[in-house]
Structure 1
Amino acid sequence: MRLICLLMLLAFFNTGATKENHATRESSVETKSRFAMLDDVRLLANGLLHLGQSLREFVQKTKSEIKDIFQKLNVFDHSFYQLSVVTSEIKEEEEELKKTTSLLKTKNEEIKNLSLEINTKVNGILQERSGLKTKVGGMEEKLSGLTKSVISPEQLLEITAFKAVIEAQEKNIQTLMSTVQEQQEQLKHQSKRIKSLEEKLSYENFQETAEKPERSNPRAPSLFEYPTNMSSNTSTDTYDFPMDCHDVFNRGARISGVYSIKPNQSDPFNVYCELTADGGSTVIQRRQDGSVNFDQTWEKYENGFGDLESEFWLGLKKIYTIAIQNDTILQIQLEDWKGEKRSIKYSFTLEGPSSQYTIHLRQVSGDLPNAMANHTGMKFSTKDYDNDNDDDFNCAQNYTGGWWFNACGDTNLNGKYMQVRPKGPADRRSGIYWKPERGNAYSIKSTKLIVHHATKADSSFH
């Protein structure tokens, strides 16, 4: 009995020890498992941290790249806008070029047809001439035969008259032939000019040509010498000069040209008088081909320069002596590069040298928009005598030529002459231009300024 109890007690202790050992082993495995999980969490945390930093760097880099892309897009938009503006200007110039080219082609065809017609007429005239020569030869033979026989005086007179008629016809034919030849030469010259102009128009980019030097024509009358074409019916006394071109007209002259006048008891000087059925006008400025350089000094603009038969500026002193005699009208006549001609008239007064030739204008008529409204009351300015009402900018020096500038203003008819039509606003502004305060700017091909007495029609304009 005691043995049985002892065995049961040993078995109990063995069972407890086994359970204790088993519990100890389980706690050791659980501790190891927890440490392993912490290591994995740390590795995962480090990986996530590195991933976050990489993502942050990637986001910052992406933001910088997006910012650069937006800046490039802005530059592209601005460039595209400028390109569209230039493209529209090129399209406008191309349309005008096409119109001008088609017009020139039409004119060239007309000239060719006219030349063919003239050649046909010339051939007909030559045939008639040869026929007339044959007839004259036959008549001469008949005359020689008749002279051998007895001829009555009446027949001799008739034959002589007939011969005179034939000689007159021969002279008329020769005159007609010379006229036809001159016309053919003119047509050839005009055809060459049209072809040259077509070549210039077909050139893609117009290049600004150099200014032509002032043309020296020894036969053209100077501004300071007396004209040689004054007829005796314009004055009874060699020193009795007319006061102006209106006085030249009243004395009987009817042909436009250079005359000597003596206004307001000044020294006599030459002017170009434009004489029409209505009277005489004095031309004070003319631009037509760029043969004279208008970028001159104050002294030149005061005394005058150029060629009275071509391009010239009469001179402020002379214009002043003409303008103070009567109520004077200033007429400005302009022609643009499309061949359109317009004009405008002003009631015109000019102050003397002491006020730097201040101009006063009031529009009285015309089909040209008023671009001189901003210039009235202004003093005359040149590159060496700045009166342009702008302290920081010399308009005459930058835009060339002398004019009544008002902070440069809306027009300059003494600017640089362009040999070809200006392409853009900047080119138009640097040449001869006319731009009213409200309206389109005109690029001018030729100009003419004339002064004459005010008439009742001018004074009745409102």
Structure 2
Amino acid sequence: MRTEPVTFLCERKIRGSMKLLLLSLLCIIIVRAQDSNLDIRGHRPYDSPREPRPTYRPPPAPVDSGVVYRARPTSPPRAGQLARRVVIQDEGGCRHFEEELGVMCPTGCQLQTAIVKQEGDVRRAVNDLNINVNNLAQSSNIIYRHVSSMESSLKDREKASENNKNVITEYTTELEEQHSFIKENVDNNIPSSIRLLRAALDSVRAKIQSLESAITTQKEYCHNPCTVTCNIPVVSGKECEDIIRRGGDVSQMYLISPDPFFKPYKVYCDMTTEKGGWTTIQNRQDGSIDFGRRWDDYRSGFGNIALPGSKKFCEVPGEYWLGNDKISQLTKLGPTELLIEMEDWEGKKATAIYNRFTIQNEQSNYRLSLSGYRGTAGNALIDGASQLFGENRTMTIHNDMMFSTYDRDNDGWFSIDPQKQCAKEDGGGWWYNRCHSANPNGRYYWGGAYSKDMTLHGTDDGVVWMNLKGSWYSLKRISMKIRAVFGQSK
């Protein structure tokens, strides 16, 4: 049996299909011709007045020439038996995949060529896919570990949260107990305490009003300087040394006149100590006079010169400061010596004597000059505090210093803070350095010993002579007396 080419078989099938298509069209035309009387609206009707009549053009004749294959002899399959596949060989040993598909399908060689061409791309795609799969696996492992870590952390946090809840519950319970305790105290104890405090406050207010009344009375009483009615001795002189030479040998208040062009003034003369003739320029004995005064007060003087005693004259010295102008005037009359007498609260006495003592005038801020110490109290004014050494001790020397008060700062403490002033912190006017080893014009403390808590500024602001009793002991008595040196060498 002859084997026909596959191409011929495909063309034959195509021609058969075209015949069937033409036969179908012919049937449709015949049916439409039979139904020409029907009112069909899907077309566009002809308008005879406006449009020319169409003419019929016959279609071209179908192809009726070419390769004609003979029919393929086949035997029909018997019942229950499959048709045998016919293998059609092509040139070069290649064959089509299926006989029924015809030559339109590629041969095995063509498929092999196409597959070989695509093998490289497929391999690269597979390799890329393997790399992506590996990366995805690594990422999945990382994500898994991260999720595991987060899960562990979440469990820890849940555990910590549970513990915190327990702690909060405990604190809440304790807080409720404290609240109940406080509420009970507020409701029961505090009202009674408030009543007690109000009673104490009313008592304090009454005492304050009583003190204010007493202060007002004292202010009215002391509006003018205190005066005494003592008889003043007839004898007088330039100063107390001159008076004792004129026969005034009793310690009491006298009138002196250092300069005939100025008004005489009263002083207390000590005619018994160290052969007498001492003019008292300062005296502290009972704290009755406040020495925290202004510059003008220290310039003119303040306090009580003397008080009447058992006799009919003023033989008892009072607390006072004679005045810087008067002291300067007296020390400029000639060589002057200074006697400082002290007594503690146990009755022990000490002295400091300086052979030369001079005070300059107000233009020089009453600068102090001293020399020639002797005595038992310690040379605080020239050598400074014996408890200190070096630069710290130098800061407590009073010699060659200017006078300072809280409203006129001339001390050796140079600070940018205006509140850092020796006179403000140490309670009086004095020849302060930075600040003192002696403070005769400080605050008067009863009993001697005092502490920082008792002071206004936390400083040793008492009536202090450091070389005798230290910084935190306020003397019971201290007095400063001067005497002219006439033809004597001391």
TM-score (norm 1): 0.48
Higher radius of gyration, 1 or 2: 2
The structure where helix makes up a greater share of residues is 1
TM-score (norm 2): 0.45
